[in-house]
A and B are shown apart, each in its own frame.
Chain A
Amino acid sequence: MTRAVDDVSLSVATGEFFSMLGPSGSGKTTCLRLIAGFEAPDSGEVFLEGRNVSSVPPNERDVNTVFQDYALFPHMDVLTNVAYGLRVRGVSAPERTQRAREALAMVKLEGFGERRPGQLSGGQKQRVALARALVNRPRVLLLDEPLGALDLKLREEMQIELKGLQRRLGITFVYVTHDQGEALSMSDRVAVFNQGRIEQLAPPRELYDRPGTPFVARFVGSSNVIEGEFASRLTGNAQAFAVRAEQIVALAAGAPLPDAHVEYRGALLDVQFHGATNRWQVQGEGMVIAAEPRGAAAPEAGSQVRIAWPRAAMVLLAAEPRR
């Protein structure tokens, strides 16, 4: 039997912005569905504010979900969609209209109440989904890749708005994403998922500065993971380490190696223009290293280059956990 998630144990603090980050199929969405109640765990338990909800159906859990495809009811107008959670709980019609209007105002969609979901853009649908979940004032809001279908500009705006909403309302957010930028910029803490397990659970800064495993180093901040013979020579044992591309400097031919730096020579395979920096792909020592040296003009592709990084920038990594 394959396990979508295995041996995952985590606790989220009240009012926290907690992210579950990982590639597709890593088990992060399954975890979210376990919290929402759409799936029941084969073993293990889910607690919500101290209450064991493992056998409680989703409609009796005090959590609300923003779905990846928004899941707006196509046969109801926007206002009815937003008021739906109040309607099934027996809130009176005038009050639920009032509260639904407030929720729409909160996501800046005043005046859209009479429209059908089919008449909205992706970004507007996403806001309606958010308002529909928040109108119930849940203890926990679950967000399943809510920005996945939006274009970059809108995504960045929504990130700022989501974070602002979360701060203002004080609701616990559990946020699932495969976008490490999104997770790092909004979260208080991030759990990095890989193949159904948590590789590392830490605040964004720590994840970025001190990745614990080769997977986290590659997935978060796309560090170079250096292992094998070259790593052994530098660290004295077989332990792998990570170096981030922007911490690598370029050395001119004949220039001396700065203090406490490690030198690496290789052929420049390719240079990618990234705006503020250029990304060099340097091949040597049986591997390719990505470097973003600041202020250095890139030599021609194919030429031999010298790059170096400070010893302090090397982060020792634990071996990949055995599966």
Chain B
Amino acid sequence: MRALGGLLYRRPGLNLFLLLLPPLLWFGTVYLGSLIALLLQSFYAIDEFTATIVRKPTLATYAALFNQPANMDIVRRTLFMAIAVTIACAIIAWPIAYYMARHARGRTKALFYVAVMLPMWTSYLVKVYAWRLILAKQGILFWIFDHLGLAGALDAVLETPGVGGPSLSSSYLGMFIVFVYMWLPFMILPLAAALERVPTSLIQAAADLGATPAQTLRQVVLPLALPGLAAGSVFTFSLTLGDYIIPNVVGAPGYFIGMMVYQQQGTAGNIPLAAAFSVVPIVLISVYLALAKRLGAFDAL
């Protein structure tokens, strides 16, 4: 026992390796391994006649993905929704995160953190179905608008092509509202953590050098909080790209990437196409991260 202890003390690399081995094995097989297995499937193709998977490397599945205009519509629709949701989450999260991180103290601060996380303690499905009822034609939102005499305005919005639909619960607008609601905590928390790390003296230094509060916000606080904003937006962006439940329960009939993956690997039995579809979000997020890095989002890390 003592000899082993001595050996580990003198060879810290071995010690570290032994400690990390179990979690790395778990992570490597369960997470990365299955992901790679899935991605490899996308290089197989399905035989049209027998409906069986041909286990030979081919790009035919990707060709099928890109050559179908309907598929590209799905990708575009999902991407646009993810961008809109991310921007909306960032705008709503900023003031809340800023207040939590830089002004709230003690109990108020704890209360805010609990309030932000509280919705995440409830089942995801329960929340989605609740939103369907809230957004429905006979739902509370329509009822409120009706009583405020704004029913006409709401109807006008719903008539907007591309956004509206017969009711909020079956429109892209409604889907957007539910997405923003669902992913907002994932934006607030990393943003608040980043804002919390901005030293007060930097904000004071900017003011001391003559910067107005708006200049300080734009030139000092925002660049320093960018890593948090980037982290939060990766969450909201990727969660929207991959989700298949919200588009299923709430929203317009148009398909989203997640729904396609679900359908292709399930009822259609076309695992290669499902795999190819799930590569799309990975590529989009990689592009997004590369862009963010280019713009200097991680310079302050």
Contact = CB atoms under 8 A, between A and B. Distances in A.
Contacts of A23: none
Given A67-B204, A67-B205, A74 B212 contact: no
A75 B208 contact: no
A65 interface: yes
Interface residues on B, range: 20 to 34
Interface string A27-39: 0000000001110
A65 B215 CA distance: 18
Contacts of A75: 223-224, 296, 299-300
A36 B206 CA distance: 12
B199 interface: yes
A71 B199 contact: yes
Contacts of B30: none
A88 interface: yes
B210 A71 contact: no
Contacts of B206: 73, 84, 88
A58 B296 CA distance: 29
Given A74-B300, A75-B223, A88 B205 contact: no
B201 interface: yes
Nearest to A65: B208
A246 to B, nearest CB: 40
A69 interface: yes
A192 to B, nearest CB: 26
B202 A73 contact: yes
Given A75-B223, A75-B299, A75-B300, A57 B207 contact: yes
Given A75-B223, A75-B224, A75-B300, A59 B207 contact: yes
Contacts of A85: 209-210
Interface in A33-85: 36-38, 57-60, 63-65, 67-69, 71-75, 84-85
Interface in B176-213: 199, 201-202, 204-213
Q: How large is the interface on A (under 10, 10 to 19, 20 to 34, 35 or more residues)?
A: 20 to 34
Interface SS of chain B: helix
Contacts of A213: none
Contacts of B211: 59, 84, 88
A89 interface: yes
Interface string B203-237: 01111111111010001100110000000000000
A36 B205 CA distance: 10
Given A74-B224, A74-B300, A75-B224, A88 B210 contact: yes
B224 to A, nearest CB: 6
Contact of B204 (A38, A74, A89, A132): A38
B208 A88 contact: no
Given A65-B204, A84-B209, A136-B209, 17 more contacts: A36-B208, A37-B207, A58-B207, A58-B208, A59-B207, A59-B208, A65-B205, A65-B208, A75-B223, A75-B300, A84-B206, A84-B211, A85-B210, A88-B212, A88-B219, A89-B210, A132-B209
24 contacts: A38-B204, A38-B207, A58-B207, A58-B208, A59-B208, A64-B208, A64-B209, A65-B208, A67-B201, A67-B204, A68-B201, A71-B201, A71-B202, A71-B204, A73-B202, A75-B223, A75-B224, A75-B296, A84-B209, A84-B219, A85-B210, A88-B211, A88-B215, A133-B208
4 closest pairs, A vs B, by CB?
A85-B209, A71-B205, A71-B201, A58-B207
